[in-house]
Structure 1
């Protein structure tokens, strides 16, 4: 069964897409820990990050760096944190989270609920920095 990320990749459900290549896509997390929380996902459905072939994993890392640098310019933060949990959705992905404190990357915290208009503004602000 396709993951929710596959449905986003196939444009079957809407998403706030930041950037995409032939093999990767980056979009805002709809349940963010912080404003500007982005997910980087391979378009190929692979369940576990360490099952991703080496060249694609390297590509994910470099793509994530490019997105993180754009987040830093668009969202006031001290750093962009990186996390790979792998339990939430059975599709490999990297979390890029703007941080003020270490608590900002605590996945047990309550997630933000932002209106679509604000999510769109955040996505556009990040895209402008690419």
Structure 2
């Protein structure tokens, strides 16, 4: 079985990537709840997050923490919220969502439809902010 996320990992489907390592990928949600809504996935396809091997699971959370720091630097917010739902795509993933109000993480509300130029700019800004977080001497 190959999920849409596995196709993004393999390059079959394009994505607005914000961070990538050998084992993990972070990219903008194409139907975000807020600007800066990012998905973090393991490159190895596993349906249920709690079925991931312990080392990979912990590594994904460390990777997500770095991405969240980048998001917070681009989108000033009270917190970057975290959600793991896992019902829509059978590939473990973490939602990172800039929050100013608890309702910002309401998955039942209408999603945003942002123009491609805006998505490209958001992804570039978050990538740059992550680079500053991971390489502070370069800023």
Q: What is the TM-score with the length of structure 2 in the denominator?
A: 0.92
Indicate yes or no: 2:68 matched with 1:68.
yes
Q: Report the 3-state secondary structure (helix = DSSP H, G, I; strand = E; otherwise coil) of the residue aligned with 1:41.
A: strand
How far 1:77 sits from its partner (Å)?
1.3
**5+ unaligned residues in a row in structure 1: which ranges?**
none
More helix by share: 2
Alignment correspondent of 1:25: 25
RMSD: 0.6
**5+ unaligned residues in a row in structure 2: which ranges?**
131-139
Q: Partners of 2:76 and 2:118 in 1: how far apart?
A: 15
Alignment correspondent of 1:11: 11
> Computing the radius of gyration over CA atoms, which structure comes out larger, 1 or 2?
2
Q: What does the per-residue CA deviation read over 1:18-70, in whole Å, with 9 as the maximum and x for residues that have no partner?
A: 11111100000001000000000000010000001100000000000000000
Count the aligned residue pairs.
Answer: 130
